[in-house]
A = this chain, B = another copy of it.
Amino acid sequence: MNSPSLDFETAVFDKEYVALGDRREAIVRGGRHLFDRLPAAFEGVRQIGVIGWGSQGPAQAQNLRDSLGDSVKVVVGLRSGSRSKGAAEAVGFREEDGTLGEMFDVIAASDMVLLLISDAAQAEHYREIFAALRPGTTLGLSHGFLLGHLGDVGETFPPGVDVVAVCPKGMGPSVRALYEQGATVNGAGINASFAVEQDVTGRATERALGWSVALGAPYTFQTTLESEYLSDLSGERAMLLAGVHGIVESLYRRYQSQGMTPDDAFRHSVETVTGPVSRIISKDGLLGLYHRLDGTDREVFAQAYSAAYPVSLELTAEIYDEVRSGNEIRSVVLAGHRLARFPMGKIDRAEMWKVGQRVRAERSEDREAPLDPFTAGVFCGVMMGQVDVLLEQGHPYSEIANESVIEAVDSLNPYMHARGIAHMVDNCSTTARLGARKWAPRFDYLLTQQSYPAVDDKEVDPAPFAAFEQHVIHGVLRTCAEMRPSVDIFVE
């Protein structure tokens, strides 16, 4: 991918340039005070159809309805016989008042169609969906999978419609939970990227920005659909889901083999990552985490960082190659065909995650999760491996920061902290769940086979940590953090 040179025009919202490291990027800040501009952003749109009720569907349908009030009708479209009908009804979408319907009926009747069905379903049904879109409709996606799949099968989007994307940098439940917090804390929310792939109405940018603001995004940055799907699929397969899972599995074993009890090993691996490490990075960035440590702990951190970083660089480069080549998308489509015969198994029946249930139940105010410096170093090393792969590939800084750091510490890890890994992974899309199951064991094995022996044998090359303190990402994260109040995500 080449570094996209991006900018956009908006008459409805206030575009700002923010200095990010050595670049500037155009963004739009969000907030509830902008909701009165939404009718202007959605000019010409009487109905938005939200198609699908998976991870993003419930969050986006409710946020849009709450933000838009009476100005635009929000209708949920499900395939007939969908098992999600009850769930949609439970939060107020009803056939009686025309806010719930069969998906193809809703598609045909909407001026803007947000396609939030699973990637496998998109791959299977895109022809019928395209055929149901009226000319001049704005088709909205929440990530770029379909672009990748169309490229793979040699097809394109229909020429007569807008194609835009708004991609929240967090899983659906976080998009809803932080929006609700936003009622009392203005600016709470999940950042989003937007992209305009086709603009036949001349309104595509305004509609995309309106969509993002209505979802509650504290700030919205620009990308392309291709850049989005490369970074999104790679990010969840690397740091965000697979990486963090592989890290904690490998550390849980390591700490036990060093003599810790299972419960303590769980505290020093999982609880450290999802508790203090994520909380400190969210507020003070990666460098802030390092500076929180003292003397010896800083050395331990640096060793662990330098040992873990090369493994992540190697594996994330592999993941990126697999995504860009189309292999990963084809794998997801093939897996979709096998799911009826082989449903995805559970993660949390394994002994480690039963220990986790016990540890979470025994949490108390006086017993803070430890800030283990080795765990913190491994976590940051893996994170920075991904940052550097995305930098090499020319992604926008905002995208890199959100796909590598912010989504982890503000959306995913808090869910993992509250409910365990299975809950976190399994509240993401099927594509993400498949990717997490595929790549987590690879992170685990490489850390175990390469990083930890290097530490134990005192053969760690210190170069990665030496580059860490001067890294451009710290300035980028500082700017991102200034753009929204630091709200701790609340998970019941």
Contacts and interface: CB of A to CB of B under 8 A. Distances in A.
Given A437-B445, A448-B350, A449-B347, A325 B318 contact: no
A318 B335 contact: yes
A207 to B, nearest CB: 36
16 contacts: A253-B253, A314-B338, A317-B338, A317-B342, A318-B335, A321-B334, A321-B337, A321-B338, A322-B331, A325-B330, A325-B334, A347-B449, A349-B453, A350-B448, A440-B445, A441-B441
A351 B457 CA distance: 11
A444 interface: yes
A448 B257 CA distance: 18
B331 A449 contact: no
Interface in A35-59: none
Interface in A335-384: 335, 337-338, 341-342, 345-347, 349-351
Nearest to A437: B445
Contacts of A335: 318
Interface in A415-448: 437-438, 440-442, 444-446, 448
Interface of A: 253, 257, 313-314, 317-318, 321-322, 325, 327, 330-331, 334-335, 337-338, 341-342, 345-347, 349-351, 437-438, 440-442, 444-446, 448-450, 452-453, 457
B441 A444 contact: yes
A331 B331 CA distance: 12
A345 B442 contact: no
A252 to B, nearest CB: 11
Given A351-B257, A437-B445, A318 B338 contact: yes
Contacts of A449: 345-347, 349-350
Nearest to A440: B445
Given A342-B317, A445-B437, A334 B322 contact: yes
